[in-house]
Amino acid sequence: MKTFLPNKFIIERNHGRCIHCQVCVNQCSYEAHYLDPFSGEVKSRDRNCTNCHRCVAFCPTEALAIRCSPLDYVPNRNWTGEVIEDIIKQSESGAMVLTGMGNDKDHPIYWDKLLLNASQVTNPSIDPLREPMELRTTLGRKPDRLAYDKATGRLITKLAPQLTINTPIIFAAMSYGAISLTAHESLARAASIAGTLYNTGEGGLHKSLYKYGANTIVQVASGRFGVHPEYLDAAAAIEIKIGQGAKPGIGGHLPGEKVSAEVSVTRMIPMGTDALSPAPHHDIYSIEDLAQLIYALKEATNYTKPVIVKISAVHNAAAIASGMVRAGADMICLDGLRGSTGAAPKIIRDNVGIPIELALAAVDTRLRQEGIRNQTSIIASGGIRNSGDVIKAIALGADAVAIGTAALVALGCTVCQMCHTGKCPWGIATTNLALTKRINPDIGTQRLVNLLRGWSLEIEDMLGGMGINALESLRGNRLHLRGVGLTDTELEILGVKMAGA
């Protein structure tokens, strides 16, 4: 069938600079570059280009540039090019439109409408170059009070297991299979060097990564892929994944092409078969079932590890979160509307869920109203782009944030949204060994550690500016936020005042 889809991008090759060395040909996994055997010149197929920048980054003579195609449709606010092309795709495939990464729609980004405070005159700002600045964070269930033995001067209360991280940023759940083993290794090593955590996602834990267990959150999701006693024992914490911001309410699908030999062993499924996670956990049809799974996992690990429950941010997230805490969740992870994915139906990614800022504020407020905020830690994720977003999330009430896309960008990702094709030229969202070796884990680790360091330094600077030298004094401290361009209702839900007030 002749496709009606126009090309999205135009590859511009500067013929004066191109030396026909074929680096671009070798780098492009979509075969957008080829050697013309008749002329001996390297040429391009614009149709195949995803604008991932791989060729541009590696062209030795800077001969390449990529532009968005100037081909416009007749201007129409309703029938945009995207809408038209989705219909074209579906009329040619008869399928759901799949996509990768997070929601790219024009929903409000509340981070950009929240502004931070700084000290002037009455309160000295603190200079992190000269004064201590503390970002250390502990995650886990806390009691409402401590019992103290006056005779011995010791604490009687013993805390439930806690996770200590050096910066309030952890890596979000991304499964081996959705991303490559080299990417996973980079995340694991970076987490262990930076003193934070990464998350296996639903893909099991590759044997070579068990040694990073102290910095690993292992996930138990609806498919139960790769879940066995050693897997649970290896981890610092266990996460029950109920939902994911990019695709609330539906399951997961790892295409059989991505289920390589190693993925097959790690997930404990036959090679080449689709890994289909059910939409719900078929042993969790209600809150009391969740409590049973939480305690089953705690029993299985002898109450040595905190259990996290992850949900996508949906309309009644606050009430759900309250139930989760009462069901025994030591931490809750909220994944917002802009959370990413390796593959999801585009219609779901773009239309289901609510922004993380509103969900986070509502959950933190609700748990405080019910007097159970101490009993859990909140991890916020879904569209955290920089340290400004991190610190605003903390001020709204998050104990820590999880970053997925930002971490992948550090490894080379350019957010071209083609993860679902399994051909990631950067070696990230692929299990093709020829591509995955493009990530050198030594370098990948360094890039991730650098990112965490850079953000942490920025957080310290902003914190010091507010006259605060320990992160716990900003956590849930919404007085350090002001809103701009928000309605009264939005301000009320966020629990912040309008700038100037």
Amino acid at 121: V
Amino acid at 64: L
Q: How far apart are CA 71 and CA 277, in angstroms?
A: 39
Q: Is 132 in the site for another protein (CB under 8 A)?
A: yes
Shortest distance, position 143 Cβ to another protein, whole Å: 6
Shortest distance, position 465 Cβ to another protein, whole Å: 10
**Residue closer to another protein, measured from CB, 117 or 381:** 117
Binding segment toward another protein, per CB under 8 A, in 53-61, 127-135, 213-221, 256-264? 127-135
CA distances (Å), 168 to each of 141, 172, 355, 468, 471, in order? 16, 12, 20, 15, 9
Instruction: Choose which of 362, 462, 474, 486 interacts with another protein (CB under 8 A).
Output: 474
Q: Is 351 in the site for another protein (CB under 8 A)?
A: no
Take residue 355 and report the two structure tokens written for it: 């922004």
Shortest distance, position 152 Cβ to another protein, whole Å: 11
Q: How many CA atoms lie within 13 A of 189 on its CB side?
A: 17
Q: How far apart are CA 259 and CA 264, in angstroms?
A: 6
Q: How many CA atoms lie within 13 A of 485 on its CB side?
A: 8
| Alpha-carbon radius of gyration of the chain | 24
Shortest distance, position 218 Cβ to another protein, whole Å: 23
**Residue closer to another protein, measured from CB, 2 or 145:** 145
Answer yes or no: are the C-beta atoms of 43 and 28 closer than 8 Å.
no
CA distances (Å), 477 to each of 364, 428, 487, in order? 11, 37, 21
Q: Which residues pair with 20 in a beta bridge?
A: none
Strands (E), 317-439: 331-335, 344-345, 377-381, 400-403
Q: How far apart are CA 13 and CA 205, in angstroms?
A: 43
Instruction: Choose which of 148, 208, 270, 278 interacts with another protein (CB under 8 A).
Output: 148
Q: Which of 442, 415, 439 is nearest to 428 (CA)?
A: 439
Q: Which of 225, 193, 191, 223 is nearest to 206 (CA)?
A: 225
Instruction: Choose which of 52, 380, 428, 466 interacts with another protein (CB under 8 A).
Output: 466
Instruction: Choose which of 354, 475, 486, 493 interacts with another protein (CB under 8 A).
Output: 475
Instruction: Choose which of 7, 138, 292, 414 interacts with another protein (CB under 8 A).
Output: 138
Q: Is 76 in the site for another protein (CB under 8 A)?
A: no
Q: Is 304 in the site for another protein (CB under 8 A)?
A: no
Binding segment toward another protein, per CB under 8 A, in 49-57, 126-134, 268-276, 309-317? 126-134
**Residue closer to another protein, measured from CB, 310 or 475:** 475
Q: How many CA atoms lie within 13 A of 219 on its CB side?
A: 29
Instruction: Choose which of 134, 289, 458, 461 interacts with another protein (CB under 8 A).
Output: 134
Take residue 196 and report the two structure tokens written for it: 């934070």
**Residue closer to another protein, measured from CB, 46 or 472:** 472
**Residue closer to another protein, measured from CB, 126 or 459:** 126
CA distances (Å), 390 to each of 45, 123, 170, 257, 383, in order? 40, 24, 11, 36, 10
Q: ∠ CA 11-16-20 to the nearest 5 degrees?
A: 70
Binding segment toward another protein, per CB under 8 A, in 131-139, 210-218, 247-255, 300-308? 131-139
Question: Which of the residues 93 through 122 are near another protein (CB under 8 A)?
Answer: 119, 122
Binding segment toward another protein, per CB under 8 A, in 96-104, 147-155, 287-295, 429-437? 147-155
Answer yes or no: are the C-beta atoms of 58 and 27 closer than 8 Å.
yes
Q: How far apart are CA 38 and CA 373, in angstroms?
A: 70
Answer yes or no: are the C-beta atoms of 324 and 379 closer than 8 Å.
no
Shortest distance, position 126 Cβ to another protein, whole Å: 7
Q: Is 495 in the site for another protein (CB under 8 A)?
A: yes
**Residue closer to another protein, measured from CB, 72 or 488:** 488
Instruction: Choose which of 470, 484, 485, 487 interacts with another protein (CB under 8 A).
Output: 470
Q: Is 500 in the site for another protein (CB under 8 A)?
A: no
Q: Is 467 in the site for another protein (CB under 8 A)?
A: yes
Instruction: Choose which of 183, 480, 486, 493 interacts with another protein (CB under 8 A).
Output: 480
Instruction: Choose which of 14, 26, 123, 351 interacts with another protein (CB under 8 A).
Output: 123
Take residue 227 and report the two structure tokens written for it: 């879940």
Binding mask 357-386 for another protein (x = CB under 8 A): -----------x--x-xx------------
User: Which residues lie near another protein (CB under 8 A)?
Assistant: 119, 122-124, 126, 131-132, 134, 136, 138, 140, 142-148, 150, 154-155, 157, 159, 162, 368, 371, 373-374, 466-470, 472-480, 492, 495-497, 501
